[in-house]
Structure 1
């Protein structure tokens, strides 16, 4: 790990010139003290790094210094394979590895390409943290050490113990046979089996994980796309799902469809509004989805959902009809 960090430190200085210890610490996700120790180690190894004093000082390399230490380690190569989605790399705990790998890729480019590549990169922004309305995009990320342990068990083919917090249930330890990792809409999932039965676990709900030495009971090969489609089908057809008939403004169709499990039927009314028959995971999911749409959608059936939304709206109206603080 330290060897990779030293290479990254050198590449940062090569690509950015002079950088302060604080900036290096932030980029490498270590303490300033660790950066200073690494600088000493590089100097002792003959790397021509020097310090400049003053408010705008920092560390730099002698002009013209090059290093061939650009080989990618396993996690960095893996991060590049999922780099089509930066958030996908984050979901699988590969964010730091991706940053390190990209530094090595940039350093390996011919000098004539480095400037044009850096300039082009400044013109592209992928997956910003907020949308056009300045709403922060909320993602639930599991701690990197937890995801790293899960990832190791998946690749090694070992059984895995996870401390999992299912919705509205007390967290429990369980031993599973990991199949693979999937990311959907910035959310990471572990596909596994438990006592031979298919299981899907959301990574953000895994509180702790431990790779075991025992081999996992799983097929030699796996088609993750097919496996995910099958898990999704099981999810849509099981549990306490509810079907809702909705009449709505067509401009907000995608807002509804994006939260529903499935669209069973759809037609347009004479006035241009849409009628959709959609399914939700459960009653709470249905009420939440329709409440988000406000007056842009109306639940026509079932009656219990209409009553629930009416009571909720009435409670809000009563609250704001009173004087502040009452």
Structure 2
């Protein structure tokens, strides 16, 4: 880890010129004291890093210094493969590797191209954390240590012990055969089998993980896209799923579909709204999802769901129905 950090420190100074210890610490995600120790180690190893004093001082490299320290390690190369999705690299625990890899990649560019690429990068913002309505994009928080262990098991083809807490469930340990990792809309998933049956585990619900020495029981090659589709199909046909008939404002059609598991039927109605038959994971999921759409979606059946939404709305109306808020 320290060797990678020293390489990143050198590349930062090569590409950006003078940098303060505080700025280096922020980039490398370490303390200022660690940066000072690293600079001392580099100087002792003969690299021309020196300090400039004064108000605008900092650490710099000699202008003509060249380095061949641009070889990518495994995680950095992997991070570049998933770099098309910034959230994907974060979800798979590769955020720091991606930053290090990009430093090495930029350093390998010819000087003129490096400068033009850096200027162009300032004109691009990809996948920001909030949209134009200032809504924060929901992204799962996943422990780097946990996802690193899961990655190791996936790539090494080893069985994996998971402490997993499903919705409203007590965490349990289970042993699985990992197949691959998938990221969808800011959420990461592990595809695996358990006792030969397909399983899908949300990474943010994995509390601990340990790769075992025992080889995983799985094919040598996998079509991950097809496997993901098969897992989805299995999810949508099992459990306590609920099919709901609704009428929907066409302007909100896509938002409704995004909160459902599947659409079974859809047609335009004479009133200008859509009639849709949609599937939800269970009654609780259906009530939560359709409540989000307010008056833009109305449940026509089943009656029990209409009653649940009516009771929720009535309770809210009573709470806000009269007078100022209680002191």
TM-score (norm 2): 0.97
Q: Tell me the alpha carbon deviations over residues 198-243 of structure 1, each in whole angstroms, 9 at most, x when there is no partner.
A: 1111000001111111111111121111111111000000011111
Which range moved further: 125-134 or 62-71? 62-71
Q: Does 1:27 align with 2:27?
A: yes
Please name the residue that 2:310 is paired with: 310
What is the rounded CA distance, in whole Å, between the counterparts of 1:25 and 1:87 in structure 2? Answer: 23
Please name the residue that 1:225 is paired with: 225
What does 1:1-326 correspond to in 2, within 5 Å?
A: 1-322=1-322, 323-325=324-326
What is the rounded CA distance, in whole Å, between the counterparts of 1:54 and 1:243 in structure 2? Answer: 70
CA drift at 1:298: 0.8
Which range moved further: 177-186 or 127-136? 177-186
What is the rounded CA distance, in whole Å, between the counterparts of 2:33 and 2:56 in structure 1? Answer: 19
What is the rounded CA distance, in whole Å, between the counterparts of 1:173 and 1:65 in structure 2? Answer: 53
Q: Give secondary structure in 1 for the equivalent of 2:6.
A: helix
Would you say the 8 A contact 2:176–2:193 is kept in 1? yes
What is the rounded CA distance, in whole Å, between the counterparts of 1:257 and 1:54 in structure 2? Answer: 60
What is the rounded CA distance, in whole Å, between the counterparts of 1:214 and 1:41 in structure 2? Answer: 41
Q: Tell me the alpha carbon deviations over residues 87-112 of structure 1, each in whole angstroms, 9 at most, x when there is no partner.
A: 11111111110111011111111111
CA drift at 1:58: 1.8
What is the rounded CA distance, in whole Å, between the counterparts of 2:93 and 2:163 in structure 1? Answer: 18
CA drift at 1:60: 1.3
CA drift at 1:133: 0.3
What is the rounded CA distance, in whole Å, between the counterparts of 1:189 and 1:55 in structure 2? Answer: 49
**Superposition CA RMSD, Å:** 1.2
Q: Give secondary structure in 1 for the equivalent of 2:43.
A: helix
What is the rounded CA distance, in whole Å, between the counterparts of 1:275 and 1:58 in structure 2? Answer: 65
CA drift at 1:175: 1.2
What is the rounded CA distance, in whole Å, between the counterparts of 1:271 and 1:16 in structure 2? Answer: 62
What is the rounded CA distance, in whole Å, between the counterparts of 2:137 and 2:70 in structure 1? Answer: 34
Q: Tell me the alpha carbon deviations over residues 125-175 of structure 1, each in whole angstroms, 9 at most, x when there is no partner.
A: 111000110011121121101000110011111111111111111001111
Would you say the 8 A contact 2:13–2:61 is kept in 1? yes
Would you say the 8 A contact 2:260–2:280 is kept in 1? yes
Unpaired runs of 5+ residues, structure 1, are none
CA drift at 1:190: 0.7
What is the rounded CA distance, in whole Å, between the counterparts of 1:32 and 1:204 in structure 2? Answer: 31
What is the rounded CA distance, in whole Å, between the counterparts of 2:86 and 2:266 in structure 1? Answer: 35
What is the rounded CA distance, in whole Å, between the counterparts of 2:326 and 2:23 in structure 1? Answer: 47
Q: Tell me the alpha carbon deviations over residues 72-125 of structure 1, each in whole angstroms, 9 at most, x when there is no partner.
A: 000000011111111111111111101110111111111111111111111111
